[in-house]
Amino acid sequence: MGLLKKKQVQYILIGLVLALLPFIFGFKRATVTMLDTVVIYAIAALGFNILLGYSGQISLGHAAFMGIGAYLSAFITMELQLPFLLAILLSGVVPMLIGLLLGLVALRLEGHYLAIATLGLGVTIQHIFKEWTGFTGGFSGAKAPYASIFGYAFKSRESFFVLAIAVLVLLSIFAYHFLTSKAGRALVAMRNSEHAAKAMGVSLFKYKLIAFAVSAFYAGVAGSLYMHLIRYSDPNTWGIELSLNLLGMVVIGGLATIGGSILGAAFIVIIPELLKEIPVLGEIRSLSTILTGVALILVIRFMPYGLVRVGKQIQSKRQDRKNKSSLKQQISKP
């Protein structure tokens, strides 16, 4: 029982259960593809949550890092004919290094200035994708082979789901250890109060840069997986809409929580698909974008801690009511 209390073991067990779902229930190909997409976006959202939820820094250009990871993975596996494992690793490392370089400039800004700067960086990188035809294929797009490890190709959506879950579990375990380490505690202190953290000797710029780099690594890995799932990508995929969706996943799911990132990704991907089945709503263009905006407003207004903490929020309100009721009874007594 003591072993089950460890977060690493819990993540592995949950991952095993989730990986078996498509095989147990025999979902349709489209449904499994949707689940694959949820897991991929959950990886990107988890990295984004480290930046926004734990360090308090916002980025509106994170889709560009996913794009870098996607195109790089396609180039390594398609053009250079190198293994997928090397491709997915480099697809995380290269965006991380680029994130470090960009962060040296961008992270000297704060608040909405940082948001505007990262938005500009994202738009710039997207235009590079459109013009650098030798690497990205421009508007014609780039293609990638099936993901393959030790000769086994993940051709079916179900097998790819197992691969994506394995990556998500590994990165969740890493995120847990990172966030409970000295660096993670520094990020939380910085988010709560930069002045107090600085007074305690925390280097604000150093830990902001670390958070930016780690989140870029997660985004690059997610981009690599997306590329080998869809096996095609064009520059329009990696625009501001995706960056806003990542923001929505983190805020709706729950800031500063690993589970919130996954829940938020599931909400943003699955709910619009379910609403499309409704006759009137299914005809609305940009339904996903509209839903994200409405959900953000409602969550910020009524569930500021995200969907992952709704149960605790309800329990806390009930306890407050009980305390108030008890206090009134005590006051009313002679």
Domain 3-302, CATH 1.20.58 — does that match? no
C-alpha 219/C-alpha 40 separation (Å) is 9
User: How far apart, in whole angstroms, are the C-alpha atoms of residue 28 and residue 158?
Assistant: 10
Answer for the pair 61, 242: CB distance below 8 angstroms, yes or no. Answer: no
Give the integer Cα–Cα distance in Å for 98 and 68: 10
Query: Checking DSSP bridges between strand 148-149 and strand 152-153, what pairing results, if any?
Result: antiparallel
The span from the CA of 68 to the CA of 134, in Å, is 14
Residue whose entry in the numeric block shows the structure tokens 């309800």: 314
pLDDT of residue 237: 94
Q: What is the pLDDT of residue 215?
A: 96
Per-residue pLDDT of the chain (334 residues; tens, 9 = 90+): 567 778 899 999 999 999 999 999 999 999 999 999 999 999 999 999 999 998 888 899 999 999 999 999 999 999 999 999 999 999 999 999 998 988 887 777 877 888 898 999 999 999 999 999 999 999 999 999 999 999 999 999 999 999 999 999 999 999 999 999 999 999 988 888 888 888 888 888 899 899 999 999 999 999 999 999 999 999 999 999 999 999 999 999 999 899 999 999 999 999 988 888 888 777 777 788 888 889 999 998 888 889 998 888 778 777 777 777 776 666 666 5
pLDDT of residue 311: 82
Q: Given this model, what pLDDT does residue 7 score?
A: 87
Tell me the backbone φ, ψ of residue 232, rounded to 5 degrees.
Answer: -160, 145
**C-alpha to C-alpha distance for 116 and 107, rounded to whole angstroms:** 12
Tokens linked to 239: 């625009």
Q: Would you tell me how many other CB atoms lie within 10 Å of the CB of residue 107?
A: 24
Residue 270 burial (CB < 10 Å; 0-12/13-18/19+)? middle
pLDDT score recorded for residue 321: 76
